[in-house]
Structure 1
Amino acid sequence: MGIGNAFVLNLSLLITVAYLANILYKYGLRKMSQNTLYGLSVLLMILAGWICMKFGFRLKDDVLYDLRLVPLIIAAFVYSSPLTMVLIGIGIGLARLTFGHSEAAMVGLLNLTLLGFVCAGLNIWMRRTHHRFVVKGMVTILVVNVVNSLNIALFGVMPTTRYLLEIMPVALPMSIVLSLGFALILRDFQLGARQNLELKYANELLRKQTDELHKAKIGLEERAKQLAQASRYKSEFLATMSHELRTPLNSIINLAEMIGESDEAGEEISEYGRIIHKSGHELLQIINDILDLSKVEAGRLEITNEEMVLAELPVWMQAQFERVATQKKIEFHIKQEAGLPDSIISDPQRIVQILRNLLSNAFKFTHKGRVELDIRRAPADGTSDTEWIVFTVADTGIGVAEDKQSTVFEAFRQADGSISRRYGGTGLGLSISSNLARLLGGYICMTSKEGQGSAFSFYLPLKTARRHHGELN
């Protein structure tokens, strides 16, 4: 067997040793301590060098040519302590003595010891420089192989001329190429192992995150149940309290009305009675608003669908707000588009409540000019076949700044905190109206400009009522 065949056999054996070592680590040695694993890896490097010598090329009985320097090259990449390279070099050199004590064996010990120090120096250089890994690898492989050839030429038992002319031209190129090939194989093997390890850590992290998400989900579900229960308790409490408050408050309102209208009471007492009557009505409205809001939030507000005559709406709104318009000297107009159906199917009580809230706000924030209620038909918008009837309340009041318009439909919110101090109110009207519109299948939108007024449009699905054979369809 020639040098080339021996070197290829050495490389095959080194690959086999590396694979078996990985199997042992993966299924048996992983649980050992770091110090134990470190010692076993050093012994493995020495064993790999011994195997190379065992199956190397014998030029004579005591002269061996093999790839025993390859484990030392790999050690220069793997270990962080330079002393480890010296120890491995000496260990492989001593392993050479197991094949017999001779001058060639002693030269082999000297050569591997020197190569151990060379690898230690290269290890220090690699850790202190910032070159790419490929550059560091090429330099290390070339230096170790060249130094090995020089040592054999200087200290070897074979005549220098014969070695330089016959052995080195074959052994040095093959040693460099096979060393590089083994280094690349180990590098690829190392990257694969690192990817598997990273994948394992990622899977473990994903498992922990999944467990945490599951626990968080359980916590959120429990919290949602608690919030739902708290909302139910709040709704029940508000319903009970509103009833308890409204009963004596209605008595106060009725008595105040009687005092205000009494001819026997003096003018001053009558005025006090009217003030109490007005304040009682305002307080009652606040209580009703809070109760409605709590029912909407709890999903307990009932919507009844029945026939509603459209012509009655302007009459109701005119009767309710005409006096306010006269007192504030504001024009109040109601316009109804021609061709609207005589009646629709919806909840009359909630429609009136929404329009009353919108008109109350319009009159509250308008000092001069006009307030208008416009009732018209709107065609389907293209996203559905629904036809709408639109109630638009427009005013020439203070308006709402553009950056504040997103808050006006939130409960207990107004465009500006100073508004509640100046104009009063809880800020519930628009929130309740928006929720009621949604429950009726519609919605409310607004356009406004600060200082120039606002327009709130209540879109309601148009469901006409037609009588056929005495039945409502």
Structure 2
Amino acid sequence: MDFCKIFLGNTALLIAAAYLANLVYKYGLARAPKLVKYTCSVLLIIFCGWLSMVFGYKLSENVIFDLRIIPLIIATVIYAEPVTLAIIGIGIGFARLTFGVNEASVAGLFNLCILGAAAALLNIWMRRRGFSLVTRGFLAIVVLNVLNCIDIAFLGVIPAAHYFETIMPATLPLTLLLSLIFSLILRDFQLEAARTIQLKQSNVLLSAQAEELHQAKRVLEERAKELARSSRYKTEFLANMSHELRTPLNSIINFAELISDNDDSRTKEEMAEYGEIIHQSGHELLRIINDILDLSKVEAGRLEIMHEEMNISEIPQLLQMHFELVAQKENVGFSIKLDPSLPETFRTDPSRVQQILKNLLSNAFKFTHQGKVSLVIRAEHNPEGKLAGSWIVFDVQDTGIGISPPQQRRIFEAFAQADGSISRKYGGTGLGLSISRDLAHLLGGFIRLESKVGRGSCFSLYLPLANEAEECATLEITPSVGGVEQKALLPGRPGTVPGLE
């Protein structure tokens, strides 16, 4: 009966210690380093063994019976490192010496050292066999309790016959039962701790998912705004395009009708003027259709670039002939300067270069009411950086109305102009700059823009001057803050070149 009371008291103490340890871990060591947690857990188990001895049953002045073996049993199931079990056994054994050094305490030290070694070996064997947690716990309880009884009987402190006949029949079943009960209680503590950890992880996961949903919502809202803006641009574009198409079509229809009337009162000069108007309207209509076709080909990736030698000295002559009358009509000065250091030819697509320059010059004259428009053709050599290499640069400068920084961010977008009312005031489809930008990329170059409101603009077309064999360049356009970062992947010249500035 005395054994039962003392062992039950030991069990209650171990349960209380386990509960307090759980609280300390939850509120004090949960975020501690792994080494600190490991050291504290080993010291706690040794302390529990010492606590069992403090409240153990004194069979005589030096002999103590207690449940110091239970912490070692629990450790055998919990820890994966065999060395840890040996340390715990030795630690509990030395804790026995705190009650005095005598024959019984030395025997207790040896007993715990043997049990620690046995627990380490048992742990290795069970993990190699892949036993479940329940099986490992059952084997640890049975094996270590039986080995403990054998050690006590043969260490000589208590006569073996007396121990086997009188003490062991009472203590062994009780120790096995209480070890099992304590293991179940501790297992429940572990499950509760695991549920708490799982709940925290679930909360963290839910928080992360909520943040992802919030980010996704923001992205969707931004895309919805972009779609609405794009829809507005396309609506404006269709309205402008219908006006642009109707104007030359009406001219063609009306003047063709006048010619078909065969009115004898009209002179040959009037008929020739009607024919010239029809011819100009037809060319204007063809230009608009070509712009739409070019844009669709670029978006579909089907616009082919044919590389051949282009005579640089012919460019000023061609553009002078094309825009001299426009300059006189608009009463605007027009000049072209050619850098004499440029080579005679460079390899590119001549028709596409002329198309880009005509678009840029047409816009310059369209938005310049007084002053001048100029084209400067120069060479630029950069030893390093994003512009490393040799370039031929076409600077189209004007003294027109200029473009504000917010408008510069979208002036090269298809279907979008600097102002939605621009096309109504000045005419045009708004596709010229978008097509020019894409063509510049396909030619291996890019377009830069510098402009101030009321002081004019400068569009600079950069094309590679080095003679490199290529059939076609690959185009990639990435939005960036303040403009468009444009990447042209060139054979022999890979890299990123700057966009609008």
**Which range, TM-score by smaller chain?**
0.5 to 0.7
Amino acid at match of 1:206: L
Query: Do the aligned partners of residues 170 and 257 (structure 1) sit closer, same or farther apart at CA in structure 2, a change above 3 Å counting?
Result: farther
Q: Which residue of 2 aligns with 1:152?
A: 152
Amino acid at match of 1:245: L
- Summarize the alignment of residues 110-121 of structure 1 with structure 2, pairs less than 5 Å apart: 110-121=110-121
Q: Which residue of 2 aligns with 1:21?
A: 21
Q: Distance in 1 between matches of 2:42 and 2:156?
A: 27
Amino acid at match of 2:188: D
Amino acid at match of 1:89: G
Q: Which residue of 2 aligns with 1:43?
A: 43
Q: Distance in 2 between matches of 1:214 and 1:208?
A: 10
CA offsets 1:303-340 (integer angstroms, 9 cap, x no match): xxxxxxxxxxxxxxxxxxxxxxxxxxxxxxxxxxxxxx
Tell me if the contact between 2:77 and 2:133 (Cα under 8 Å) persists in the aligned partners.
Answer: no
Q: Distance in 2 between matches of 1:213 and 1:262?
A: 73
Tell me if the contact between 2:76 and 2:85 (Cα under 8 Å) persists in the aligned partners.
Answer: yes
Q: Distance in 1 between matches of 2:135 and 2:43?
A: 28
Amino acid at match of 2:251: S
Tell me if the contact between 1:104 and 1:156 (Cα under 8 Å) persists in the aligned partners.
Answer: no
Query: Shift of the alpha carbon at 1:263?
Result: 10
Q: Distance in 1 between matches of 2:193 and 2:118?
A: 29
Equivalent residue of 2:59, what SS? strand
Amino acid at match of 2:165: L
Q: Which residue of 2 aligns with 1:188?
A: 188
CA offsets 1:328-364 (integer angstroms, 9 cap, x no match): xxxxxxxxxxxxxxxxxxxxxxxxxxxxxxxxxxxxx
Query: Do the aligned partners of residues 186 and 143 (structure 1) sit closer, same or farther apart at CA in structure 2, a change above 3 Å counting?
Result: same
Q: Distance in 1 between matches of 2:178 and 2:165?
A: 21
Q: Which residue of 2 aligns with 1:52?
A: 52
Tell me if the contact between 1:53 and 1:66 (Cα under 8 Å) persists in the aligned partners.
Answer: yes
Tell me if the contact between 2:77 and 2:140 (Cα under 8 Å) persists in the aligned partners.
Answer: no
Q: Which residue of 2 aligns with 1:430?
A: none
Tell me if the contact between 2:89 and 2:113 (Cα under 8 Å) persists in the aligned partners.
Answer: yes
Q: Distance in 2 between matches of 1:4 and 1:172?
A: 11
Query: Shift of the alpha carbon at 1:135?
Result: 1.5
Equivalent residue of 1:32, what SS? coil
Query: Shift of the alpha carbon at 1:255?
Result: 4.1
Query: Do the aligned partners of residues 262 and 3 (structure 1) sit closer, same or farther apart at CA in structure 2, a change above 3 Å counting?
Result: farther
Amino acid at match of 1:12: A
Q: Which residue of 1 aligns with 2:487?
A: none
Identical-residue share of aligned pairs (%): 56
Q: Does 1:143 align with 2:167?
A: no
Query: Shift of the alpha carbon at 1:127?
Result: 1.9
Q: Which residue of 1 aligns with 2:217?
A: 217
- Which structure 2 segments of 5+ residues have no match? 265-274, 293-501
Query: Shift of the alpha carbon at 1:47?
Result: 0.6
- Summarize the alignment of residues 187-336 of structure 1 with structure 2, pairs less than 5 Å apart: 187-256=187-256
Q: Distance in 2 between matches of 1:193 and 1:37?
A: 15
Please provide the CA RMSD for this pair: 2.9
Q: Distance in 1 between matches of 2:183 and 2:70?
A: 9
Amino acid at match of 1:249: L
Q: Distance in 2 between matches of 1:113 and 1:220?
A: 67
Tell me if the contact between 1:115 and 1:144 (Cα under 8 Å) persists in the aligned partners.
Answer: yes
Query: Shift of the alpha carbon at 1:257?
Result: 5.3
Q: Distance in 1 between matches of 2:156 and 2:34?
A: 39
Higher helix share: 1
Q: Distance in 2 between matches of 1:99 and 1:24?
A: 28
Amino acid at match of 2:75: A
Tell me if the contact between 1:53 and 1:96 (Cα under 8 Å) persists in the aligned partners.
Answer: yes
Query: Shift of the alpha carbon at 1:212?
Result: 2.0
Q: Which residue of 1 aligns with 2:96?
A: 96
Query: Shift of the alpha carbon at 1:114?
Result: 0.3
Q: Which residue of 2 aligns with 1:63?
A: 63
Tell me if the contact between 1:46 and 1:91 (Cα under 8 Å) persists in the aligned partners.
Answer: yes
CA offsets 1:396-441 (integer angstroms, 9 cap, x no match): xxxxxxxxxxxxxxxxxxxxxxxxxxxxxxxxxxxxxxxxxxxxxx
Equivalent residue of 2:114, what SS? helix
Q: Distance in 2 between matches of 1:166 and 1:155?
A: 17
Q: Distance in 2 between matches of 1:163 and 1:24?
A: 40
Tell me if the contact between 2:77 and 2:136 (Cα under 8 Å) persists in the aligned partners.
Answer: no
Tell me if the contact between 1:11 and 1:178 (Cα under 8 Å) persists in the aligned partners.
Answer: yes
Query: Do the aligned partners of residues 79 and 255 (structure 1) sit closer, same or farther apart at CA in structure 2, a change above 3 Å counting?
Result: same
Tell me if the contact between 1:75 and 1:85 (Cα under 8 Å) persists in the aligned partners.
Answer: yes
Equivalent residue of 1:60, what SS? coil
Query: Shift of the alpha carbon at 1:248?
Result: 2.1
Query: Do the aligned partners of residues 262 and 66 (structure 1) sit closer, same or farther apart at CA in structure 2, a change above 3 Å counting?
Result: farther
TM-score, length of structure 2 as denominator length: 0.51
Amino acid at match of 2:172: L
Q: Which residue of 1 aligns with 2:169?
A: 169
Query: Do the aligned partners of residues 189 and 260 (structure 1) sit closer, same or farther apart at CA in structure 2, a change above 3 Å counting?
Result: farther
